[in-house]
Amino acid sequence: MFPLFDLSLQLSGFPIREAQAELRKIVAFSEKEHGVFIANKKQEIVNFHLQNNPFYQELVGSKNYKNWGDLPVLNKQNLQKPLQERLSKGYSTKNSYINKTSGSSGTPFIFAKDKYCHALTWASNIYRFGWYGINFNTSYQARFYGIPMDFIGNKKERFKDFLSHRFRFSIFDLSDVVLEKILKKFQNKKFDYINGYTSSIVLFAKFLQKKNIVLSTICPSLKVCMVTSEMLFEDDKLLLEKQFGVPIVNEYGASELDLIAFQNKEGEWQVNSETLFVEILDENNRAVPNGTSGRIVITSLFNKAHPFIRYDIGDIGILDEKSTLQKTILKKLIGRTNDVAVLPSGKKSPGLTFYYVTKSIIEDDGNVKEFVIKQTKIDSFEIEYVSETELNLEQIKKIKKAIELYLEPDLNFIFTRKKVLKRSVSGKLKQFKSTI
């Protein structure tokens, strides 16, 4: 007898049992067997798309290739064309899983996965969440995600939530009145775990801190909290651990691929080396040694409907020196390649540096709930923030001084207090954005 979640996947045409059986086999490989598996799958997926995908043939410029390193790096701009032109022979919107990226990178696009590949994505999720005793068929999820506002889209998502044994909190309004209602739900429902966007979950933790409540004391069934889609800073992680009273697990994924990395029980960000092959490349598309930062480029080893081969996801990261092919560890995720501030001196700095420096001061007194930084000119920045009271001159002076110390002097700032910050359609909060 199929449990409800597995049954809903199977009825939608996603062969979850076969996918889980294959994943178990891959996980059981020795280091040597895993190396052979990766080499074979890389060759197999490239050959398949060179024979069956005109879009990929055109990108490569040939039906043959000699070395992996000679294959082109696929970027999001390459994918800005109708999906029909990118599908492999034998695949259509009718017999594939179709979805759209959130667009948080600035270039949203529609993508496809064949149904077996999508089943493997779920098998991979189920396997990793299982590390923390979470079972998608029986564990009850408190979900902090966006939700479509139109009637049909909303009802469809709510039905999916029902099948997936989860209760969704819409994150487009997280005022104290709404957070109070969320707290009541935790008092009345037996949630096993929290899953959702980092910024929204952090906001809820700050609300609990203000009320001096530890969530696990009013919801003792709570086991773990998984945050995703936005950066998790160390001080925010400590706040979440303190206010929720459960382990905090950081995941990194992409809807068009799979879970890319998931925090294991040792606290390491373990890369998914069962369904993906992850490379870190320099500006010349050459692999850099482990321990060196570069662009995160990923190959989906099973997706036959649509090629994601040497796909530049738009993020910068570092693999740990101790990584092996079977157990690859993502040491650090630095941020998006397009989230870079260019300063008057010519210096380039990850936008999250601004965010982090400002964060250390702006949240000192607990007045500011959340904020975003926008670069409007080469020397000008706008900081939008949500708080109970306006920032005072002393705080503003401190922020400017810290940025001067970490980055450079003579930068201009405008501080704008807002009731709510604008989130993307999917509900994500972009902490830094450059408009120049």
Q: Sign of the CA dihedral 101, 24, 251, 337?
A: negative
Taking each helix axis from N to C end, the angle separating 176-188 and 198-211, rounded to the nearest 10 degrees, works out to: 90
Distance between CA atoms of 68 and 113, rounded to whole angstroms?
23
Tell me what pLDDT residue 427 has: 76
Residue 264: predicted pLDDT: 96
Report the C-alpha gap between 163 and 5 in whole angstroms: 6
Cα separation values, 361 from 238, 355, 406, Å: 17, 10, 13
Q: Between the CA of residue 312 and those of 73, 300, 336, what are the distances in Å? A: 6, 12, 11
Residues 6+ apart with CB under 8 A from 143: 161, 166, 167, 168, 169, 194, 195, 196
279-to-55, 163, 197, 321 alpha-carbon distances in Å: 22, 36, 26, 13
Domain 340-434: give its CATH code: 3.30.300.30
Predicted pLDDT at 218: 97
What is the model's pLDDT at position 428?
A: 79
- Contact in structure between 267 and 261 (CB atoms under 8 Å): no
**DSSP summary character for residue 224:** E
pTM for this structure?
0.84
Which amino acid, 71? L
The 10s digit of each residue's pLDDT in 245-290 is 999 999 999 889 989 999 999 999 999 999 999 999 999 999 999 9
* Domain map (residue ranges) of the chain: 4-336, 340-434
Provide the CATH topology of domain 4-336.
Rossmann fold (3.40.50)
Q: Which residues of the chain have pLDDT under 50?
A: 1
pLDDT of residue 337: 60
The predicted-structure confidence for 99-117, as pLDDT tens digits, reads as follows 987 655 556 789 999 999 9
**Sequence-separated (6 or more) residues with CB below 8 Å from residue 383:** 358, 362, 371, 372, 373, 374, 399, 413, 414, 415, 416
- Cβ-based neighbours of 109, under 8 Å, separated by 6 or more: 76, 79, 80, 100, 101
pLDDT given at position 170: 80
What's the pLDDT score for residue 2? Answer: 56
Write down the residue that tokens 């899983």 correspond to.
Answer: 97
CA distance 97 to 311: 19
